[in-house]
């Protein structure tokens, strides 16, 4: 992400409707899968950003994070999150089979070798460990936020499936989400097409300010949480996958 956006991103993670809604969806799914009571698990948030989600992941076990940006790590530590590391390459600084849960939430689209990093995520998962991944959907929906965030690609569901299955991960759920708000977002992308690489772009997060509209959008987005935890949505602005590492310790 462009460094100039990190201070605002730090604030947006707590307040913006997109972060609030997706967080409720992720936590509802993980609660259903793992239970909401804290257990003796090790949890890793890959690309933890400024740390809001990392704090919520503490409900599932001892949570730690890594991020490729030193400024993001500084914001995490300012929140009192000490188990955060700066990692600036594709290798994870952990032994094999370390974690019971790994999350990579809107992360792998930033990386040239997405297949390679997913293999690394598989490596650090314990047998029967879970991986939760989310990515932006549909290349035709490319917008200014993709450039600001230094995205390499947007996905369709079958592409994400292939990346995960090629890493020998067993899919438990693969679904689009942010479906309720898909029509207006898609209409904006179609009616106001954005040329990739344009200059003087404005972050999508600046388009909605704190207030009633932001709160309404957060509620509409979060309405999907009980659906996503049990069923598959056929389209949406983003894609979510929950996968399991098969096998047992030798």
- Is 100 a domain residue? yes
How do residues 33-49 score in pLDDT, each as one tens digit?
998 666 789 999 999 98
pLDDT in tens, the chain (250 residues): 445 555 555 566 778 899 999 999 999 999 999 986 667 899 999 999 889 999 999 999 999 999 998 888 998 998 889 999 999 877 899 999 999 999 999 999 999 999 999 999 999 999 999 999 999 999 999 988 888 888 999 999 999 999 999 999 999 999 999 999 999 999 988 887 777 766 555 555 555 566 889 999 999 999 999 999 999 999 999 999 999 998 644 3
Query: Which pTM was predicted?
Result: 0.90
Domain CATH number, residue 226: 3.40.50.150
- Is 136 a domain residue? yes
| Rounded distance between C-alpha atoms, residue 204 and residue 213, angstroms | 15
Q: Distance from CA of residue 29 to its chain's centroid?
A: 13
What are the residues facing 155 on neighbouring strands? Answer: 137
Number of domains in the chain: 1
User: Beta strand 125-136 with 42-46: parallel, antiparallel or unpaired?
Assistant: unpaired
Strand spans (E) along the chain: 42-46, 62-67, 84-86, 99-105, 125-136, 169-177, 238-245
Strand spans (E) along 68-124: 84-86, 99-105
- Is 212 a domain residue? yes
How do residues 118-150 score in pLDDT, each as one tens digit?
999 999 999 999 999 999 999 999 988 888 888
In terms of residue numbers, what domain contains 70?
3-244
- Is 250 a domain residue? no
Residues contacting residue 7 through CB under 8 Å, at least 6 positions apart? none
- Is 111 a domain residue? yes
- Is 249 a domain residue? no
């Amino acid at each position: 992400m462009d460094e100039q956006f990190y201070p605002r991103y730090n604030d947006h993670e707590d307040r913006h409707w997109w972060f609030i809604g997706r967080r409720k969806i992720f936590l509802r799914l993980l609660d259903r899968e793992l239970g909401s009571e804290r257990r003796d698990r090790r949890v890793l948030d890959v690309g933890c950003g400024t740390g809001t989600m990392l704090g919520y992941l503490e409900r599932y076990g001892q949570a730690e994070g890594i991020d490729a940006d030193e400024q993001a790590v500084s914001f995490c530590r300012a929140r009192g999150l000490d188990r955060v590391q700066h990692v600036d390459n594709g290798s994870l600084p952990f032994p094999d089979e370390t974690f019971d849960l790994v999350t990579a939430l809107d992360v792998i689209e930033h990386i040239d070798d997405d297949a390679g990093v997913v293999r690394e995520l598989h490596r650090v998962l314990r047998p029967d460990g879970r991986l939760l991944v989310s990515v932006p959907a549909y290349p035709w929906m490319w917008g200014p936020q993709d450039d600001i965030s230094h995205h390499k690609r947007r996905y369709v569901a079958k592409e994400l499936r292939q990346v995960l299955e090629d890493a020998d991960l067993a899919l438990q759920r693969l679904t689009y989400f942010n479906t309720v708000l898909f029509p207006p977002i898609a209409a904006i992308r179609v009616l106001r097409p954005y040329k990739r690489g344009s200059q003087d772009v404005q972050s999508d997060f600046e388009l909605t300010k704190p207030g009633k509209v932001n709160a309404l959008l957060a509620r509409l987005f979060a309405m999907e949480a009980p659906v996503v935890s049990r069923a598959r949505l056929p389209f949406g602005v983003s894609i979510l996958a929950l996968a399991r590492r098969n096998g047992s310790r030798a």
